[in-house]
A and B are shown apart, each in its own frame.
Chain A
Amino acid sequence: AQKVTQAQTEISVVEKEDVTLDCVYETRDTTYYLFWYKQPPSGELVFLIRRNSFDEQNEISGRYSWNFQKSTSSFNFTITASQVVDSAVYFCALSDVSTGNQFYFGTGTSLTVIP
Chain B
Amino acid sequence: DAKTTQPNSMESNEEEPVHLPCNHSTISGTDYIHWYRQLPSQGPEYVIHGLTSNVNNRMASLAIAEDRKSSTLILHRATLRDAAVYYCILRDSGNTGKLIFGQGTTLQVKP
State yes or no: do A and B come from one complex: no
Residues of B within 8 A of A (CB): none
Residues of A within 8 A of B (CB): none
